[in-house]
């Protein structure tokens, strides 16, 4: 069964002029660091009202700042985190601006053509505290990963941007990679690079070991079932060859069995030996005409 997750939007039902108003007014700066001692990243001139509309987290944070002159009123500090890509965050902000400035457009679109960038934009969505399309984007990502031939770069992107918060997604990707490597005649093309990346990360080593065990179990079970089916088919072929099994369905088999019984009875009678046969069944097998029809033939 397939299903789709309908996206939601805080802009739903708003007129174009109301959406455009969200892009006006005060501006804020989004900032964060990748390490405590590292340089600070900045994205300035972001419409504050637009962020408030899309991000419940930012809205609650600014609501708790009572002094309008407090610098916190003019910035959104995301703290220290390694799961934010500058370009992905800019893409997300551009999606918000586009939705606010376009008639009839209310939803934010996942990055459409590159899985690694799509994962990064999903991570930016989470970092900014946007909830309206989070489930939709995640559902799209999982479906994309299921059909895509995941590369080393895409695997690294998944681990870097969502690995800490969504280990299940990393596990899903690893499962896809291990399955491809185990079932494709040429193996996974990037397996050497992926092995090298996983090797020095204990948390990934543990997940991969578990996934490999699962994949091996599934493949072994499939092989056992194939062997069982081959053996069963062989037995059926032998039975058919010796007349012990149905040739053209159960009815034909029953007819063959009873006609054979009558033939054996006639042979025994010719030799002066008693024989047993089921006259009723033989009659049914001969189309309902019974012994008379058989003798007339």
- Examine the domain organization and report whether 26 and 130 are in the same domain: yes
Say whether pLDDT at 265 is over 90. Answer: no
pLDDT, averaged across the chain: 82
Dig out the tokens for 204 from the structure. Answer: 């990934």
Residue 125: count other Cβ atoms within 10 Å of its Cβ.
25
For residue 157, being part of any structural domain is answered with no
The range of the structural domain enclosing residue 172 comes to 167-245
Q: What's the pLDDT tens digit per position in 4-51?
A: 555 678 999 899 999 999 999 999 999 999 999 989 999 999 999 999
For residue 158, being part of any structural domain is answered with no
- Examine the domain organization and report whether 30 and 121 are in the same domain: yes
- Examine the domain organization and report whether 22 and 77 are in the same domain: yes
- Examine the domain organization and report whether 91 and 194 are in the same domain: no
- Examine the domain organization and report whether 2 and 79 are in the same domain: yes
Partners of 80 in the beta sheet?
Answer: 33
Domain count, the chain: 3
Mean pLDDT value across residues 269-275: 53
Mean pLDDT value across residues 92-111: 94
Say whether pLDDT at 87 is over 60. Answer: yes
- Examine the domain organization and report whether 209 and 291 are in the same domain: no
User: Which ranges of 191-249 would DSSP assign to H, the alpha helix?
Assistant: 191-199, 202-241
3-state secondary structure of 255: helix
- Examine the domain organization and report whether 29 and 136 are in the same domain: yes
Please, are residues 273 and 263 in contact by the beta-carbon 8 Å criterion?
A: no
Mean pLDDT value across residues 168-180: 90
Q: What's the pLDDT tens digit per position in 213-254?
A: 999 999 898 888 988 888 888 888 887 877 765 544 444 444
Say whether pLDDT at 126 is over 80. Answer: yes
- Examine the domain organization and report whether 14 and 130 are in the same domain: yes
- Examine the domain organization and report whether 218 and 272 are in the same domain: no
Q: If you write DSSP's letter for every residue of 156-175 in order, what string do you get?
A: HHHHHHHTTT-HHHHHHHHH
Q: What's the pLDDT tens digit per position in 48-70?
A: 999 999 999 999 989 888 777 78
């Amino acid at each position: 069964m397939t299903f789709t997750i309908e996206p939601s939007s805080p802009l739903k039902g708003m007129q174009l002029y109301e959406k455009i108003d969200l892009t006006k007014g005060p501006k804020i700066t989004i900032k964060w660091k990748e390490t405590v001692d590292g340089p600070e990243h900045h994205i300035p001139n972001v419409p504050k009202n637009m962020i408030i509309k899309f991000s419940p987290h930012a809205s609650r944070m600014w609501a708790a700042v009572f002094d309008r002159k407090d610098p916190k009123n003019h910035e959104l500090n995301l703290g220290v985190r390694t799961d934010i890509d500058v370009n992905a965050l800019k893409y997300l902000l551009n999606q918000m601006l586009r939705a606010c400035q376009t008639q009839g457009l209310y939803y934010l679109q996942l990055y459409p053509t590159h899985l690694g960038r799509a994962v990064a934009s999903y991570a930016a969505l989470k970092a900014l505290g946007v909830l309206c399309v989070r489930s939709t984007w995640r559902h799209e990502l999982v479906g994309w990963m299921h059909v895509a031939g995941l590369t080393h770069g895409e695997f690294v992107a998944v681990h870097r941007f969502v690995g800490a918060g969504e280990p299940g997604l990393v596990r899903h990707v690893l499962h896809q990679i291990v399955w491809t490597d185990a079932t494709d005649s040429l193996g996974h093309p990037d397996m050497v690079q992926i092995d090298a990346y996983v090797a020095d990360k204990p948390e990934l080593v543990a997940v991969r070991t578990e996934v490999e065990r699962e994949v091996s179990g599934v493949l072994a079970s499939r092989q056992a079932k194939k062997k069982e089916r081959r053996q069963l088919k062989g037995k059926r072929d032998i039975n058919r060859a010796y007349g012990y099994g149905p040739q053209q369905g159960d009815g034909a088999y029953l007819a063959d069995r009873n006609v054979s019984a009558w033939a054996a009875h006639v042979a025994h009678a010719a030799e002066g030996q008693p024989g047993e046969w089921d006259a009723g069944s033989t009659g049914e097998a001969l189309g309902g005409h019974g012994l008379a029809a058989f003798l007339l033939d």
